[in-house]
Structure 1
Amino acid sequence: MNIDLTGRTAVVTGSTAGIGRAIAVGLARAGASVVINGRREDRVAATLSELRALFPKGAFIGVVADLATAEGAAELFAQAPDADILVNNVGTGRAKPFFDIGDSEWTDLFELNVMSGIRASRHYVPNMTNRGWGRVVFISSESALAIPKDMIDYAMTKTAQLALARGLAEAVGGTGVTVNSVLPGPTNSEIMSGWMKAAAKEQGITQHEAEQQFIKTMRPTSLLNRFATTEEVANLVIYVCSEQASGTTGTSLRVDGGVVRTIA
């Protein structure tokens, strides 16, 4: 399958590391012009430099903006006013007991993980529908379906993304714009790798051993029996953004290594 996104502009939120960066690389490889976003100027600049070295003929814009705020979203829209492809990837999570999570922590996480995608979709999708072509992808998580007891706030935001994506797909049905969710499982993203490195150091074991321990104790239903790579997650996202995926919309696509035990 030859995926060609030449002439398309893609906005990938939270794309200076991890899954977001892998998606940006995949979209650029397919020929798309890519807007990189992050909260830190040094990381945005470093990512732009790396991408330009990988793809000398590629077109890239870097936008430093905190998309957990309306002001940050406005800055993104000012510098990148239009897009054919929107990947709502920015987000974070943390392990914390439910009874220790305060009100502000709930709302702060919702602003970043959910409102960022709401604001971006509200801005970019109308022009997509006017043109009769567009792709919107929400990067959710298997935690949206298999709720972890130590990350209930995170899981809530990821489930909210599924509802948002499905509702938006309904709203733009028949316009040529598709809206889907992609649900990664345990992945060697920056955040997860950081957690595993810390766990390995604390226990005096290797990071690989820490990852295997996590799979066995926290995700025992995994069929992959390892963490996915960010590229493996990105591969599915790139397909969903392609012309070939024109018949796929309003759905949730898992790249979770079989963690969620369901056939639908």
Structure 2
Amino acid sequence: MRAFRISNIGSYVILFLMALFVLLPFFWTVLTSLKTEANIFSVPPQWIPNPVTFDHYADVLREGQFQAFMKNSLIVSISSTLISLAIGIPGAYGFAKYRYRLSGILFGSIIAVRMFPPIVLGVPYFLMMIQLGLIDSKLGLIITYLPLQLTLIIWIMEGFFRELPHEIEEAGEIDGLGSVGKFIRIALPLSLPSIVVATIFSFLQAWNEFLFALTLTRTEVSQTMPVGIAGYVTTFSNFWGKMAATDILFIIPVLLITIFIQRGLIKGLTAGASKG
């Protein structure tokens, strides 16, 4: 019993240290956003803001750039995610349930795209968008994000569809369901937790993407929030307070969504761990 308690204490200590390691940058960003410019650079570092100020948040919201960047991020992320889901979920179902010659190689090739460093695709995408006249446009970013999100969705959903019991689909066939009917009336309802996971991860892929947003955009008309945040670092000065405040405002929507759908997220992450 004593050894069991010691083991539990050790587990809690490890979990606490891991949580501290992950959350410390977030807490430090929150604290930085509440400090005055002088206290941000104080030596030794000031852990508790004194005095607490919300001037950085007021400045960010008053300048108007935040609203434009946030709007662009929402439009690009939501649009690319919805299109990717509409294409990727049926594609994953096809890979999981219908085997044909070279299907394994094709699936492996799609997954291999995720192993490429994004910078490798930077120049080809840039040249393609110039030819299409889509430089500095939200449509250009949406098109660019689709392959990145599609591979992620297909990878997540194919594993879940593959674990669906064949008996359920066979029962559907007896009831007269065809391939489309089985997909819509059986596979999709059973895969909702995994769809939640695929949606969140796909959305975050576009929401946090920086390289292509920086390369393919020029103005506030199409620049997303990660590019806007990077704009606080200039040649002559770094606006750390405003950057920290913008970071927190940028994180809040995703944090609220994740908390709201936490149960579905956990179910989706554990789906497929065991058959049946």
- Under a length normalisation based on structure 1, what TM-score does the superposition of the two structures give? 0.27
TM-score of the two chains, using structure 2 as the length reference: 0.26
Structure having greater relative contact order (Cα 8 Å, sep ≥ 6): 2
Q: Which has the higher helix share?
A: 2
Of the two, which has the highest radius of gyration? 2
